[in-house]
Amino acid sequence: MKPYQTIPIADCGEPLVPIPSTSFARVDPHPYQRLGAPYGHQSPYWLRLGVLEALAVAQDHLQQHHPQWRMQIFDAYRPVAVQAFMVNHAFEELRQQRYPQQTDLTEDQHQALMAEVTQFWASPSPDPTTPPPHSTGAAIDISLVDAKDYPISMGSPIDEISDRSRPDYFAPTSDPEGQRFHTHRQILHQAMAVAGFCRHPQEWWHFSLGDQLWAWLQQQAHPHQPVIARYGRADILL
């Protein structure tokens, strides 16, 4: 169990709503659907209503300072079955990188690889008290694009399992390109923070508002203020 999963949830009952494709750029085709992730009739481009409204505030703030830029949605709502599919996919990709000639791992090798995977991927818990953040409809993976919808470079791709994914990885560098990556990450972070989002401590692209991770981060910043999550597992509401 991760520390944020101890946060209590009192779901506010807000619906999942579609993210307007006319307002935000989207990665198309969706990367997990292309892999065959089991969404069924559900869409990865849904968010809770209050989260979508906050995302619009974040984009407004971004465009006050960078009028030609937009948010690009990589992923949003993720059913628990999709979370399980992607954890397995990430594990297999990492296994192929580390042990390309080895199909049967030792128990120690398996545990070490899974520990790396779960730094970036939440457990696909079916327990409604410990939902994966994306399964609440309150978490989003996001980047930036320019006026021609070309990606703004962030220094590493979304979902990369490496130290480069950490938000401040490029902060200490004196290399001009690395500093540019750090600046872009900070621009994204500032826009999202203005709207109330919290950033995942280990992923420059992952932001949430109202879920357990968000509440836990709020608690770390303000330890004397009690906080609960207002969004639980969204498929319970469907």
Please give the torsion angle defined by the CA atoms of residues 193, 195, 198 and 200, in that order, rounded to the nearest 10 degrees. Answer: -80
Spatial neighbors of 97 by CB under 8 A, at least 6 apart, are none
The distance of Cα 24 from the centroid of its chain, to the nearest Å, equals: 16
In Å, how far are 35, 67, 70, 228 from 5, measured between CA atoms?
28, 38, 32, 11
pLDDT 10s digits, 69-84: 999 999 999 999 999 9
In one-letter notation, the amino acid at residue 46 is W
Quote the pLDDT of residue 101.
Answer: 86
Do the beta carbons of residue 144 and residue 187 sit within 8 Å? Answer: yes
Q: For residue 238, what pLDDT is reported?
A: 62
* Residue 172: partners with Cβ closer than 8 Å, 6 or more residues away: none
Query: Which residue ranges in the chain fall short of pLDDT 70?
Result: 236-238
Q: What is the pLDDT of residue 117?
A: 95
Residue 102, pLDDT score: 83
Q: Active-site positions?
A: 203
Looking at residue 144, its amino acid is: L
Q: Could you tell me which residues come within 8 angstroms of residue 93 by beta carbon, excluding any fewer than 6 positions away? A: none
| Both structure tokens of 204 | 């420059």
Collapse the DSSP code of 146 into the 3-class scheme (helix H, G, I; strand E, B; otherwise coil) and give the result.
coil
CB 212 within 8 A of CB 9: yes
* Confidence at residue 226, expressed as pLDDT on a 0 to 100 scale: 87
The pLDDT value recorded for residue 103 is 78
Q: Would you tell me which CATH number, out of the four given (3.40.50.150, 3.40.50.1970, 3.30.1380.10, 3.30.70.1400), belongs to the domain 3-236?
A: 3.30.1380.10
Q: What is the largest CA-CA distance in the chain?
A: 53
Amino acid letter for position 75: D
Dist. CA 138–CA 52, nearest whole Å: 9
> What does the pLDDT read at residue 104?
87
Q: What is the pLDDT of residue 95?
A: 94
Query: How big is the chain, counted in residues?
Result: 238
- H/E element, 49: helix 49-65
Token pair 């560098």: residue: 173
Q: Which 3 state secondary structure label does DSSP give 2? A: coil
